[in-house]
């Protein structure tokens, strides 16, 4: 096999001509597509050549005389002169897929097209649209144009287990997550690159719907279950999905079974020259050899493209429509006004309620236009991160100040409550170790919060991210002390008593001088001093939840202290509270720390990157952290005492007892991991398991 596609090879093809003409014994496949080859095709080729791909080059001239039905020749996207009578030996319609002679260029014929990939018959979908059949017998390097020419398909790539390849796959199973299971009974597959085209389309923005269903790699406990199909999706030459995996997409949609589950992807793309190109490309990732060698390329079950704004009808139709519309308008206008007034009143009341809540000094109300301009229309280039209910963007206001702007997600069902909670909470507390709120915006359905910008990002990225900051021991100790002071203020010093409930490394931000500031008050709760605890729904992040909160929902300020202890150990060790890449006895940070502490090697906990540190100060920090993660909330110190111990104003304990949950976990995992029962694992999982649960 001679294969150099997608290599940007440019210039003439004389070297290839000589090779093709004189080679009589070599493997009969040549993949030379997606380069920048120019000139004409060779006058002759070796007799053994059966498959040739010259698609997506800049070749020109007449077609060669050696083209025949015995040769698969893909010449899509070049500049050839097509003589329909002389070149009838090739599949019809090649002129529609030349760079200079696309069919119906400037003469639109339709505003949509649909294809049921691999099907031999038309299929009516649940929305009454009819999907055209696509059972063309494509091979290693071939194409097909519908008759009349409304759409086409091009395939390149050879399945290695057969001489011709099986490019249409079938399934009789019923698919989940769709009303149109019949669209998924067939699918077209390619070993490398698969392109669909729509011809003669009206220019404008189109909604392109691609439908996939995986049934080759099944959800079975067999060798098939390890198969992964990974490919890229391009529309009009722009990559929309990288490393797209049908089963993974089904899983992300919440489906229990990822095989035989329909996955629908929709995109808006422009058509400017009356032609639409959909390109599915295997980029060398995923499974190569199972179930069969070559079953790794893209596959698709159905596709459709529809113009978003349909063209207006002729003048007579417009006049008739206006007359009919005028007839019913008088009846409809009263009902419309009533509904509009009701909705406006409801929205006005909601907006007024929010404005009343956040009408506070030193917090500014921005317009949506100001913040959209500041973030360059919420450009992905300015995206700082994404949280449980929104995205955070870097923005530059008109006065030149740089801010962080949190955008509430439309899909967050409880986001408004958390939005109000965050404004209420953070606006009522001011401390150098708490992120400062500058203002908000309540326009539209995506409320916005404006915070001070933290130049050094979040603590978790500084500790565990790829671009780690150089945090020496004195800086880490300063960060621990800053977090402790911020929590002490929330718990004991502010005018209202606040429990944050989601203290973790990602919710601690660092400014330019690496001063830590606690952020994300969406889960914060006000707490009455007169109550011993508050019973509430558990919310937060597993791995940082205290035992009494995770198991019984009992909330006091001691849940923050437990989480602080975990964060402090992460800062000392330079690793997250769970790392599945490590050995079993080191994977869970809390278990590993206690093991080293009991073996009288506490300083071995320190991050290997810490080449220098104060051993006395480090040991004090470890003991304080271990005291914070005690099983009983009564055994944990207050945050004011933690601050006092960190500053050296009071002594840290010489000895700290092992929490019962760690002892239970170690006893259950003693010997082999298979000895742990489900019930035993669940009993300690909430405070050792790192899985995120924002619980809102």
Residues annotated as part of the active site: 502
Contact call for residues 187 and 117 (beta carbons, < 8 A): yes
Contacts of 561 (CB under 8 A, 6+ apart): 487, 628, 633, 636, 637, 638, 639, 642
Sign of CA dihedral 192, 198, 203, 208: negative
What ranges in 81-236 are assigned the alpha helix state H? none
Contact call for residues 421 and 521 (beta carbons, < 8 A): yes
Contact call for residues 224 and 290 (beta carbons, < 8 A): yes
Distance CA 496, CA 498 (A): 6
- Residue 406 annotated as part of some ligand binding site: yes
Q: Strand pairing partners for 281?
A: 193, 232
Distance CA 310, CA 200 (A): 15
Sign of CA dihedral 336, 337, 339, 340: positive
Distance CA 152, CA 279 (A): 12
Percent of the chain that is helix, strand, coil (3-state, to 5): 30, 25, 45
Give how far the C-alpha of residue 488 lies from the chain's centroid of Cα atoms, to the nearest Å.
Answer: 37
Distance CA 506, CA 502 (A): 10
Give me the DSSP letters along 235-250.
ETTEEEEEEE-HHHHH
From 306, 304, 308, select the one nearest 132 (Cα to Cα). Answer: 304
Distance CA 520, CA 344 (A): 31
Q: Count the Cβ atoms, other than its own, within 10 Å of residue 398.
A: 8
User: Taking the CA atoms of the chain, what radius of gyration do you get in angstroms?
Assistant: 32
Distance CA 695, CA 523 (A): 9
Tokens of 358: 């956040």
- Pairing state between β 437-441 and 390-396: unpaired
From 65, 281, 109, select the one nearest 199 (Cα to Cα). Answer: 109
Distance CA 566, CA 563 (A): 5
Count of CA atoms in the C-beta half-sphere (13 A) of 66 = 17
Residue 572 Cα distances to 414, 429, 463, 487, angstroms: 35, 29, 10, 19
From 660, 658, 665, 657, select the one nearest 689 (Cα to Cα). Answer: 665
Distance CA 63, CA 140 (A): 20
Distance CA 627, CA 629 (A): 6
Distance CA 554, CA 532 (A): 9
Tokens of 496: 């209202």
Convert 290-338 into a string of H (helix), E (strand) and C (coil): CCCCCCCCCEECEEEEEECCCCCCCHHHHHHHHHHHHHHHHHHHHHHHH
Distance CA 75, CA 64 (A): 11
Give me the DSSP letters along 552-599.
H-EE-THHHHHHHHHHHHHHHHTS-SB-TTS-HHHHBHHHHHHHHHHT
Q: Which residues are annotated as a binding site for ATP?
A: 406
Q: Which residues are annotated as a binding site?
A: 406
């Amino acid at each position: 096999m001679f294969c150099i596609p997608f290599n940007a090879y440019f210039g003439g093809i004389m070297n290839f001509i000589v090779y093709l003409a004189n080679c009589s014994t070599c493997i009969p496949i040549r993949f030379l597509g997606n380069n920048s080859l120019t000139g004409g095709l060779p006058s002759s080729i070796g007799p053994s050549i059966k498959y040739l791909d010259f698609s997506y080059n800049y070749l020109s001239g007449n077609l060669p005389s050696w083209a025949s039905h015995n040769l698969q020749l893909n010449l899509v996207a070049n500049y050839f002169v097509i003589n329909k009578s002389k070149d009838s030996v090739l599949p019809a319609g090649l002129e529609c897929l030349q760079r200079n002679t696309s069919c119906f260029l400037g003469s639109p014929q339709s505003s949509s097209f649909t294809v049921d990939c691999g099907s031999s018959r038309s299929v009516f979908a649940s929305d009454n649209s009819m999907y055209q059949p696509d059972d063309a017998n494509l091979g290693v390097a071939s194409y097909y144009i519908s008759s009349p020419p409304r759409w086409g398909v091009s395939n390149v790539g050879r399945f290695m287990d057969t001489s011709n390849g099986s490019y249409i796959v079938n399934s009789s199973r019923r698919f989940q997550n769709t009303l149109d299971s019949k669209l998924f009974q067939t699918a077209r597959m390619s070993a490398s690159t698969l392109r669909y085209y729509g011809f003669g389309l009206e220019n404008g923005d189109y909604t392109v719907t691609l439908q996939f269903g995986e049934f080759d790699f099944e959800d079975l406990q067999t060798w098939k279950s390890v198969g992964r199909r990974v490919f890229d999706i391009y529309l009009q030459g722009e990559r929309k999905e990288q490393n797209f995996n049908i089963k993974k997409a089904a899983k992300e949609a919440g489906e229990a079974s990822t095989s035989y589950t329909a996955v629908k992807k929709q995109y808006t793309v422009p058509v400017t020259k009356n032609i639409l190109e959909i390109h599915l490309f295997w980029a060398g990732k995923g499974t190569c050899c199972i179930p069969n060698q070559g079953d790794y390329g893209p596959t698709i079950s159905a596709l459709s493209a529809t113009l978003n704004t349909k063209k207006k009808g002729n003048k007579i139709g417009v006049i008739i429509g206006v007359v009919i519309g005028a007839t019913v308008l008088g009846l409809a206008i009263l009902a419309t006004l009533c509904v509009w007034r009701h909705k406006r009143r409801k929205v006005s009341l909601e907006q007024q309620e929010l404005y009343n809540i956040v009408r506070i000094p030193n917090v500014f109300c921005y317009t949506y236009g100001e913040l959209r301009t500041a973030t360059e229309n919420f450009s992905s280039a300015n995206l700082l991160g994404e949280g449980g209910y929104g995205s955070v963007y870097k923005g530059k206001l008109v006065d030149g100040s740089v801010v962080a702007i949190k955008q509430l997600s439309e899909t967050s069902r409880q986001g408004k409550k958390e939005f109000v909670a965050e404004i209420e909470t953070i606006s009522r507390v001011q401390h150098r170790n708490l992120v400062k709120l500058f203002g908000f915006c309540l326009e539209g359905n995506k409320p916005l919060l404006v915070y001070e910008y933290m130049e050094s990002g979040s603590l978790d990225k500084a500790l565990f991210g790829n671009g780690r900051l150089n945090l020496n021991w004195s800086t880490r100790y300063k960060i621990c002390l800053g977090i402790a002071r911020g929590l002490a203020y929330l718990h004991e010093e502010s005018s209202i008593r606040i429990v944050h409930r989601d203290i973790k490394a990602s919710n601690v931000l660092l400014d330019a001088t690496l001063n830590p500031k606690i952020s994300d008050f969406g889960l914060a709760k006000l707490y009455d001093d007169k109550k011993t605890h508050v019973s509430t729904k558990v919310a937060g992040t597993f791995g940082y939840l205290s035992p009494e909160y995770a198991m019984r929902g009992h909330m006091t300020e001691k849940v923050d202290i437990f989480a602080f202890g975990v964060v402090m150990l992460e800062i000392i060790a330079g690793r997250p509270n769970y790392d599945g890449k490590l050995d079993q006895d080191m994977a869970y940070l809390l278990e590993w720390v206690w093991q080293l502490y009991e073996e009288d090697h506490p300083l071995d906990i320190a991050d290997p990157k810490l080449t220098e540190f104060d051993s006395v100060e480090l040991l004090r920090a470890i003991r304080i952290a271990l005291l914070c993660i005690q099983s009983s909330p009564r055994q944990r110190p207050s945050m004011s005492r933690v601050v006092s111990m960190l500053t050296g104003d009071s002594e840290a304990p010489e000895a700290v007892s092992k929490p019962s949950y760690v002892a239970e976990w170690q006893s259950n995992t003693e010997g082999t991991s298979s000895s742990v029962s489900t019930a035993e694992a669940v009993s300690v999982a909430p405070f050792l398991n790192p899985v995120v649960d924002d619980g809102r």
